[in-house]
Amino acid sequence: MKKQLISLCLGTFGALCIAGNALAGEPRTLCVYDPSGANGEAYAAMKDYQIAATAWGIDFTLKPYTNEKTAADDFKAGQCDAAFLTGVRARGFTKFAATTEALGATPSYELLGEAIKLMAQPKVAKKLKTGDYETAMVMPMGAVYIMVRDKSWNSIEAIAGKKIATIGFDAAATHMVKLAGASMVAADISTFGGIFNNGAADICYAPATAFKPLELEKGVKAKGGIIRYPIAQLTGQVLIHSSKFTPEFAQSSREYGANNFSNILALSTKSDASIDKKYWIDIDKDAKARYDALFQDVRVKLRDEDQIYDKEMLSLMRRLRCKADNTRPECAQKRE
């Protein structure tokens, strides 16, 4: 491989500068899911990642997808050496990192950052592999909130009987809807916004980053709002066929994600802050406790019965939550 001079600083999330001689990388294909295709923020982040990867010996060709299932299927079929997917979809390949998206498991960006840093430690590498699949990076994509058409629907009890636009392939979400006594309106990432906005569903859930692009204020309208309680953290995850990459590449990639967490997170915090204050619905301590209990039941059920969540990651997240607040009832119960 011929040598080339690299002297650059990353653009969109620019926290990493590389200067010096580097070897031209091995060619690999990175299939990138972004609802906006090559014009989206996720794709822009992967362009920066593409540049960084040259220092780790890989020359990525990016291939945009606006349909996540197609991207995942192509990755599974070996048409993509690596893929950028949401954690919900990544869970079908490797569970450990994807479990950071478990309902109620990560109530703050700070805890998500701690989890991502822990996963970047070399000693954790073996937990991030399932067969030939490996999680090579995790990045934040925003806290997920419940959005309602009526501000009075601010509790678990009030949600009962309502119609919720629900991502059909997400077993955690469908189970949550059932436990809450609500009705599921089947949706996917490309359709839930329209379903909520046109009144076919009373409730939807989404990160703040989707509020303006999907015009969800049309669904919320004057009487509705956003419950200020993160029910989950949406993440973007780079998955690789580990046989196509060196362990050193995967480790450097995970460290890149951890080191750039704050810069990547800025997009999410900016979106949170940009939403008009009139839409936010604050709930009291008792309501939060009931949400906590519901989501814990979901996590335990999906860990034990459906084997969707990873046991070790759930335990790790519980320890992080209790380290931040040891008054939480779960800290004494130790169900996870």
Domains of the chain plus CATH, in order, are 3-141+234-273 (3.40.190.10), 144-231+278-300 (3.40.190.170)
Over range 300-305, report the average pLDDT: 91
3-state helix, strand, coil in the chain (%, to 5): 45, 25, 30
Lowest mean pLDDT among 72-81, 90-99, 206-215, 251-260: 206-215
Q: In this structure, what are the phi and psi dihedrals at residue 34, rounded to the nearest 5 degrees?
A: -150, 125
Q: What is the pLDDT of residue 24?
A: 53
Q: In this structure, what are the phi and psi dihedrals at residue 234, rounded to the nearest 5 degrees?
A: -75, 135
Q: Are 204 and 147 in contact (CB under 8 A)?
A: yes
Q: What is the pLDDT of residue 20?
A: 32
Which residue's structure tokens are 């009144």? 199
Over range 18-40, report the average pLDDT: 76
In this prediction, residue 195 has a pLDDT band, given cuts at 50, 70 and 90, of very high
Q: Across all residues in the chain, what is the average pLDDT? A: 90
Q: What is the pLDDT of residue 331?
A: 93
**How far is it, in rounded angstroms, from Cα 261 to Cα 255?**
10
Q: What is the pLDDT of residue 276?
A: 93
Q: What is the pLDDT of residue 190?
A: 81
Show Cβ contacts of residue 144 under 8 Å, excluding neighbours closer than 6 positions: 205, 206, 207, 230, 231, 232, 233, 234
**More confident position, 19 or 76:** 76
**How far is it, in rounded angstroms, from Cα 25 to Cα 233?**
33
Compute the Cα dihedral for 168, 174, 177, 181 and give only its sign. positive
